[in-house]
Structure 1
């Protein structure tokens, strides 16, 4: 009868439980959620998922018994909700509900799981994948011969955004396929489409193939040499989820993947990296700068799941260096800004880029690192989302301002030459 010793019952309640226990026992077990119970259809005690439900059955339990039971459960190491007057166990996780607002609410119901699979309602990842493409396009534009026009820069950037949207979705689908047995154990990911069974692994695999073909269709819109730069990135897209199982630094693999666009803008505008040493140096520095940025923001992101990751056996830099996170973030920020400035020097950028782009990025990163509360899931998410727009925005503005200034200075020189002739 040791399984019922946790419930300090007396009188008729104890007698009733003892009678029922001879037919079949139920044992409270501590799971990832304390409300989970191993049920026995013969025991009225375990027909209910928490103590508050038991309290509603007055013919078996009195409130004083429930309060005593809750105290004993705490002594046994099972979490309870102290705020509950009935001594209820922690509430079960909220069930999945169909989106009632936003973009997903207007889609056909059969499309919603696939839209959730590619995180269509959470575009921050798309922005993070797009920014390196935009950076390289703006950095490469003045180096093109002749200098790329604003219209060609805008057209190239729009193609990159389309590719980022598609490839980010494909990466999310591949990630969820890899993590289909891990996601159900993490609070933030347990309701993802594959984890909850709304999309089967086979359908997700077919969907991935369709996304990759669409991405290839976008890639062929660029100059042919972009194919040789773009296709190898697929290996990195597929390998990132595996990295979480073998190393505490999967963010570095993610950085290699998400930063790939930092090289793509050069061939997209006709700048041959293998024939132009200045462009190659600029692209290399920009790529490594974005790797540092990716590790930085994803380390903040990883802190949202740090407890669940530890339980599920998922590795991350946040787990490895929890106590030194802010120091590491500061080092990554210095590395990012230093390499970004080096890219500008190699590309011949002017003061608009160094003051606006590098200076602005340094300021936004410093504020984020100082103010982010790594113990708050909500705060980490806010800075992950808004840090993307702030830092990515000021770098883009610095690069864009420098490019436009150089472009119109060149146009003015052309007009002067024409007037002289």
Structure 2
């Protein structure tokens, strides 16, 4: 009823205004006067009808929602009402709290921070963890380490990957807080939708980095020298998207850093053993190639929005020859993985299991992935972690289990 009386008041005021305007002008021609009044009235009625249709659509859309949720949705819609390329057909998304999965059971105030860490999307944690696992298993085979040190080291690496991946995602969202609202896939991230302020996100980042340092301190002291430099890459990766079409290489340098950590974590000094240094370097470069591959597929999900807002990526640069680039990266990855195994002195189990499975899964992925379908790119991104990463780790684990007892016996007999 309020809306109706308000509309009547607007109409009366507008009509009085038109009449007063006409009297002041002392119109001499009745035909001209009638035409002007009719035109003004029609414009007013057209505008009023358009507003009424808009309000009716909103009432229908939000019917049945409690007042608080209505206010939150209205606020979010207004804050996101300016897309990168304005369009009358733009459909603004509505945030819905998770109904399934681990974070759906968390208190409501914790959910935005869990989303900042991407706890609901664990694939990134696996990708960060696998280089750590690869280097640990190669180091275990090289040193014939016992099972318990390998297990505890692996557990610490997974904890560190979970925490540091969350810190990296939070830093990324802080850098991208003005870009994310303009990309369909990222516009409902916690900072972009206003659920977490930049200041609170910065404080949260500090706590995550302290927790990561706590995990790092569980390793031998020498690991500090190898681990801390990676923080520079974590902080600068988001900037790479603004200055180069190849930010995936910067991400590769960041996510592959764990390849340097396994040997010192098991007590081996890489600087005192050239074979270890060569193994680490080849493994690191292999993991960088892998990171560029899977993130190139990931970048295809945002390729249209990235082009609109000016985010650079290798997918944009090589959109038409992506599969050729992926094929080249796969060859480099498998070749460097074989070089790492050769430097470490491993046996045929590694080359068949790790290198063979990597070549097979990468080739199958490149053949089957449909780069123009977002859901298909997402499937290969999330499952590729276990298909390729799991295959490589499985070959390394088999090498360790089958050959370590022989190395231990040889060491004892020499002693």
Bigger fraction of residues in helix: 2
| Alignment correspondent of 1:358 | 355
Q: 1:244, CA displacement in angstroms?
A: 0.4
> Which residue matches 2:202?
205
CA distance in structure 1 between the partners assigned to 2:221 and 2:275 by the alignment: 22
What does residue 110 of structure 2 align with?
Answer: 111
Secondary structure in structure 2 of the residue aligned to 1:193: coil
Residue by residue over 1:243-286, the C-alpha shift from the partner in whole angstroms, topping out at 9 and shown as x without a partner, is 00011100000000000000100110111111100000000000
Larger gyration radius, structure 1 or structure 2:
2
CA gap of 1:286–1:78, structure 2 versus 1, over 3 A, is: closer
- Once residues 17 and 105 of structure 1 are traced to their aligned partners in structure 2, the CA distance between those partners, rounded to angstroms, is 56
- Using the alignment, how far apart are the partners of 2:55 and 2:306 within structure 1? 26
The answer to whether the 8 A contact 2:142-2:346 is kept is no
Residue correspondences, number: 356
Written as runs of structure 1 = structure 2, the 5 A alignment for 1:92-103 is 92-103=91-102
- For the residue of structure 1 that corresponds to 2:162, the secondary structure is helix
Shift of residue 410, structure 1, vs aligned partner? 2.8
TM-superposed CA distance for 1:118, in Å, is 0.4
Give the alignment of 1:225-304 within 5 angstroms.
225-304=222-301
- For residues 205 and 39 of structure 2, what CA distance do their matches in structure 1 show? 54
Residue 301 of structure 2 contacts residue 373 of structure 2 at CA under 8 Å; is this kept in 1? yes
TM-score (norm. length: structure 2): 0.81
Deviation, structure 1 residue 17: 8.8
Q: Unpaired segments of 5 or more residues in structure 1?
A: 1-14, 26-41, 55-76, 80-88
Tell me, in whole angstroms, the C-alpha distance in 1 between the residues paired with 2:125 and 2:162: 5
Report deviation, 1:16: 9.0
User: What are structure 2's unaligned runs of at least 5 residues?
Assistant: 1-36, 60-84
Residues 47 and 252 of structure 1, relative CA distance in 2, 3 Å threshold: farther
Preserved CA contact (<8 Å) 1:20 1:43: no
Q: Which one of 23, 36, 44 corresponds to residue 49 of structure 2?
A: 44
Distance in structure 1 (CA, Å) of the matches to 2:39 and 2:106 = 51
Q: Which residue of 2 aligns with 1:322?
A: 319
1:371 aligns with 2:393: no
Q: Distance in 2 between matches of 1:160 and 1:48?
A: 57
Mapped pair 1:196 → 2:218: no
Q: CA deviation at 1:18?
A: 5.8
Q: Is 1:155–2:155 an aligned residue pair?
A: no
Q: Deviation of residue 412 (structure 1)?
A: 4.9
Tell which has more relative contact order, 1 or 2 (C-alpha 8 A, sep 6+): 2
**In structure 1, what is the Cα distance between the partners aligned to 2:210 and 2:52?**
50
SS of 2:371 mapped into structure 1: coil
Identify the match of residue 43 of structure 2 among 11, 15, 21: 21
**Aligned twin of 2:33:** none
C-alpha change, 1:414 and 1:50, in structure 2 (3 Å) is same
Q: Give the match for residue 66 of structure 2.
A: none
